[in-house]
């Protein structure tokens, strides 16, 4: 009996252990909220990769969701890589739909707050952790509004275009139905569409491409030969040539078209669209920019500004006249070449001062300064960062020297080591970071030059606890 009693007690204890869940499993486990501590880069284009660091993420990639928030709108994205402390995610192209726009309807760089969701949502990131996302391109040029149509046959439902350019003159009576400055008769000869301003949809209007082809077909002041009809030439039927520089002045076709469309030769913004082509191409009236002429304004040729400082900054070849690349189409005190592909693009400094063309200079780490590459058509915007200061008079790297000065290095050795995308060149600048990144200057091919360069700067650069600048 005693053995039976002991067996029953043991069985009862075992059943109690099975039926009674442990205290730890009975209590609901507390969910830890994700937390974002750093975001890099803080400025990137839509479609580019973003790295988020923090805590309480899931190492299983698909369990994480990154939310881009602007106002009351949100876009959700899944990271491509994940760990408990790091997420890598692409900024979705769909963010462009929610970007702010300027008064011309062009997309502008927009700041998005971030949230990370695992089993709960993190708090929205504050401004210092909310990246600015840049559009891949600005909105296309606004062409004439939709054509007026009417049924050709009341029973067919098929519309006929009555007035393509909405100028109040029916196509049957209009010599130029689409207002691309080409007559309908010329368009039929060229096989372009008389009812489309831009037949090949490359962002450059038919009439401007045709006139540029005429300009390219004469040299340099003789009357133009007939429209060439064979490549290479600015072609209203070639959808791939907007990025081509036919006249070799460093400005591609779309760049010159935008300058022509938006600005007068003086740099003032046009109040309306051009209405005709001149009889002789290259004059200062309507074809103020042409991709057939390096000197689109032939008479009178644009002179250099009276200000000797600005004259020095814009005259690339030193001939005292301004070709299309040396002109300042948007009136911001920087020439067209520098803004489109020269000294006012970050990539130029990295590619030119590479240790082969010139002594190597290292890119300033972790900062992506605003330039035309980021903004798209920034060369046609006199204030790309929207702070009310012209780009040439602005100081994007906050080192106390204007962009206008830094795009062309001074002749004095004291200022020979400057550029508009580096707050620590010149070395002793007003806004250089107090603690320059470890070993930064050692990556350069020559020591820093500037007002009051310190002795033994390489030694100091290897001691991150020692200030390297003011």
3-state secondary structure string, 375-397? Answer: HCCHHHCCCCCCCCCCCCCCCCC
Q: Which of 36, 53, 136 is nearest to 91 (CA)?
A: 136
Q: Which of 101, 190, 175, 95 is nearest to 138 (CA)?
A: 101
Q: What is the mean pLDDT of the chain?
A: 75
Integer Cα distance of 31 and 345 in angstroms = 47
Burial of residue 286 (CB within 10 Å: 0-12, 13-18, 19+) is: middle
DSSP code, position 6: H
Phi, psi of 52, deg, nearest 5: -115, 125
316 in Cβ contact with 310 (< 8 Å) = no
The structure tokens listed for 268 are 């003032």
pLDDT band at 432 (very low <50, low <70, confident <90, very high): confident
Where do the structural domains in the chain lie, given as residue ranges? 35-134, 309-470
Lowest mean pLDDT among 301-315, 328-342, 426-440, 441-455: 441-455
Integer Cα distance of 158 and 152 in angstroms = 6
154 has a pLDDT exceeding 60: no
The pLDDT of residue 55: 92
The pLDDT of residue 425: 80
Integer Cα distance of 368 and 421 in angstroms = 8
Lowest mean pLDDT among 77-81, 226-230, 351-355: 226-230
The pLDDT of residue 430: 67
The structure tokens listed for 160 are 């006929």
What is the per-residue pLDDT across 162-182, written as a single tens digit (0 to 9) for each?
Answer: 656 555 556 555 556 667 788
> What is the residue whose two structure tokens read 């004259």?
311
389 has a pLDDT exceeding 80: yes
Give the DSSP letter string of 180-227: SSS-HHHHHHHT--TT-SSTT-SSS-HHHHHHHHHHHTS-SSSPPPSP
Q: Mean pLDDT across the stretch 61-66?
A: 90
The pLDDT of residue 145: 44
ω into 232 cis (within 30 of 0) = yes
157 has a pLDDT exceeding 60: no
Q: Which of 137, 115, 152 is nearest to 45 (CA)?
A: 137
Q: What is the value of pTM for the model shown?
A: 0.58
89 has a pLDDT exceeding 90: yes
Q: Of the ranges 66-75, 176-185, 266-275, 304-313, which is most confident?
A: 66-75
Integer Cα distance of 81 and 404 in angstroms = 42
DSSP code, position 272: S
What is the per-residue pLDDT across 121-144, written as a single tens digit (0 to 9) for each?
Answer: 899 999 999 999 988 765 443 444
Apex 385 CA angle, 381 and 389, nearest 5: 80
* CATH class label, 35-134: mainly beta
Lowest mean pLDDT among 23-37, 220-234, 345-359, 367-381: 23-37
Please state, for a pLDDT cut of 90, what percent of the chain lies above it.
13
Across-strand partners of 151?
159
CA distances from 371 to 77, 98, 338, 350, 368 (A): 27, 22, 10, 14, 9
Q: Mean pLDDT across the stretch 379-396?
A: 86
DSSP code, position 75: E
- For residues 411 and 38, the model is more confident at 38
Can you tell me whether residue 40 is helix, strand or coil? strand
């Amino acid at each position: 009996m005693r053995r039976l009693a002991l067996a029953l007690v043991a069985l009862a204890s075992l059943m109690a252990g099975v039926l009674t869940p442990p205290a730890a499993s009975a209590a609901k486990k507390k969910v830890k909220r994700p937390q974002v501590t750093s975001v890099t880069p803080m400025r990137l284009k839509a479609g580019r990769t973003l790295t988020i660091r923090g805590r309480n993420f899931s190492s299983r990639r698909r369990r994480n969701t990154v939310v881009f928030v602007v106002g009351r709108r949100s876009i959700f994205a899944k990271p491509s890589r994940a760990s408990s402390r790091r997420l890598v995610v692409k900024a979705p192209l769909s963010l462009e739909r929610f970007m702010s726009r300027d008064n011309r309807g062009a997309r502008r760089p927009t700041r998005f707050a971030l949230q990370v969701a695992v089993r709960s949502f993190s708090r929205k990131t504050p401004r210092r952790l909310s990246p600015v996302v840049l559009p891949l391109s600005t909105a296309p040029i606004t062409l004439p509004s939709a054509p007026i149509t009417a049924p050709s046959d009341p029973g067919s439902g098929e519309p006929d275009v009555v007035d393509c350019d909405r100028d109040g003159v029916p196509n049957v009576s209009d010599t130029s139905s689409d207002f691309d400055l080409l007559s309908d008769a010329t368009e039929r000869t060229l096989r372009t569409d008389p009812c489309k301003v831009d037949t090949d949809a490359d962002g450059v209007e038919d009439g401007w491409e045709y006139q540029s082809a005429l300009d390219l077909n004469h040299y340099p002041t003789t009357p133009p030969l007939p429209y060439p009809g064979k490549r290479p030439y600015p072609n209203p039927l070639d959808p791939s040539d907007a990025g081509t520089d036919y006249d070799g002045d460093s400005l591609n076709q779309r760049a010159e078209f935008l300058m022509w469309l938006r600005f007068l030769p003086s740099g003032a913004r046009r109040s309306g669209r051009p209405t005709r082509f001149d009889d002789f191409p290259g004059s200062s009236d309507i074809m103020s920019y042409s991709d057939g002429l390096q000197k689109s304004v032939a008479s009178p040729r644009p002179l250099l500004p009276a200000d000797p400082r600005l004259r020095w900054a814009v005259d690339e070849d030193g001939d005292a006249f301004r070709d299309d690349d040396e002109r300042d189409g948007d009136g911001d005190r920087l020439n067209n070449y520098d803004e489109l592909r020269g000294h006012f693009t970050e990539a130029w400094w990295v590619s030119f001062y590479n240790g082969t063309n010139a002594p190597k200079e290292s890119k300033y780490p972790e900062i992506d300064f605003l330039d035309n590459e980021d903004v798209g058509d920034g060369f046609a915007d006199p204030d790309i960062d929207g702070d009310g200061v012209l780009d040439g008079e602005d100081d994007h790297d906050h080192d106390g020297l204007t962009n206008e000065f830094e795009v062309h290095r001074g002749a004095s050795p004291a200022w020979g080591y400057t550029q508009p995308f580096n707050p620590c060149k010149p070395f002793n600048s007003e806004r250089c970071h107090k603690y320059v990144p470890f070993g930064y200057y050692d990556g350069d091919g020559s020591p820093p030059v500037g007002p009051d360069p310190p002795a033994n700067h390489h030694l100091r650069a290897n001691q991150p606890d020692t200030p390297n600048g003011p």
